[in-house]
């Protein structure tokens, strides 16, 4: 099992680099995960998507489908891929601390 060291905190990652424990996520962890996903800096636009994903997951227990992300955030798919080059599932959900999505996200 992989680990990510963020300051004094060491977090466990699964084989795909997603957090093993959603509860250990912090903004510092998000920044460290972003660096692993070729996102050098988290901007206000990134945080809008990250906070949306976390709120959605808190409410429904799953990541939203891309269609839902587009509708709710106002970002089109092109913008989401500009913000998160690995895509909404692998990149955005990972940085937001969500479990690895299953199916279409």
Catalytic residue list contains 104: yes
Residue whose token pair is 């895509």: 87
User: Which tokens belong to 36?
Assistant: 């692993």
Give me the catalytic one of 42, 103, 104, 105: 104
The tokens describing 82, both together, are: 């500009």
Place of tokens 């920044």: 31
Q: How many CA atoms lie within 13 A of 61 on its CB side?
A: 0
Is 19 exposed, middle or buried, given 0-12, 13-18 or 19+ CB atoms closer than 10 A? buried
- Please identify every residue annotated as catalytic: 104
């Amino acid at each position: 099992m992989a680990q990510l060291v963020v300051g004094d905190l060491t977090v466990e990652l699964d084989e795909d680099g997603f957090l093993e424990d959603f509860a250990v996520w912090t903004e510092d962890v998000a920044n460290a995960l972003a660096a692993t996903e070729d996102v050098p800096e988290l901007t206000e636009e990134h945080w809008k998507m990250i906070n949306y994903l976390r709120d959605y997951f808190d409410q429904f227990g799953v990541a939203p489908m891309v269609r839902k992300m587009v509708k709710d955030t106002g970002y089109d798919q092109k913008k989401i891929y500009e913000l998160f080059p690995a895509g909404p599932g692998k990149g955005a959900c990972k940085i937001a601390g969500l479990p690895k999505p299953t199916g279409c996200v």
